[in-house]
Homo-oligomer: A and B are copies of this chain.
Amino acid sequence: MRMSALAAEAGLPVATVKYYLREGLLHAGTATGATQAVYDEGHVRRLRMVRALVGPVGLSVQQARTVLDLVDEPGGDLYTTLGRAVGTLPPAAAPPGEASDPYPRARAALEALGQVYDPEFAAVAQLEGALAAAADAGLPIDAERLAAYGSAATDIAAFDLSRMPAEPHAAVAYTVLGTALYEPVLLALRRLAHQDAAVRRLAREE
Spell out A's residues near B (CB within 8 Å). Answer: 11, 45, 48-49, 51-52, 55-56, 79, 82-83, 86, 91, 106, 110, 115-118, 121, 123-124, 126-127, 129-131, 133-134, 136-139, 141, 144-145, 148-161, 163, 174-175, 177-179, 181-202
Known A137-B177, A189-B150: A160·B194 in contact at CB below 8 Å: yes
A152 touches B156 (CB 8 A): yes
Known A161-B197, A192-B117: A186·B153 in contact at CB below 8 Å: yes
User: CA of A158 to CA of B160 in the docked complex: distance in angstroms?
Assistant: 22
Q: What distance in Å separates the Cβ of A7 from its nearest Cβ neighbour in chain B?
A: 15
Interface of A is mostly: helix
Q: Besides A83-B195, A127-B192, A145-B159, 20 other CB < 8 A contacts?
A: A11-B136, A49-B137, A52-B136, A106-B188, A110-B192, A123-B191, A139-B174, A141-B182, A148-B159, A149-B186, A151-B155, A152-B153, A153-B186, A153-B193, A154-B197, A158-B197, A161-B198, A179-B191, A179-B194, A187-B187
User: CA of A32 to CA of B123 in the docked complex: distance in angstroms?
Assistant: 49
User: CA of A165 to CA of B117 in the docked complex: distance in angstroms?
Assistant: 34
CB neighbours of A45 from chain B (8 A)? 138
A155 touches B163 (CB 8 A): no
A190 touches B183 (CB 8 A): yes
User: CA of A197 to CA of B182 in the docked complex: distance in angstroms?
Assistant: 17
A116 touches B195 (CB 8 A): yes
A48 touches B137 (CB 8 A): yes
Q: What distance in Å separates the Cβ of A168 from its nearest Cβ neighbour in chain B?
A: 13
Question: Nearest 7 CB-CB pairs, A to B?
Answer: A52-B137, A157-B193, A127-B188, A123-B191, A130-B184, A56-B133, A153-B189
A193 touches B83 (CB 8 A): no
The 8 Å CB contact of A130, one of B130, B181, B197, is: B181
User: CA of A27 to CA of B153 in the docked complex: distance in angstroms?
Assistant: 40
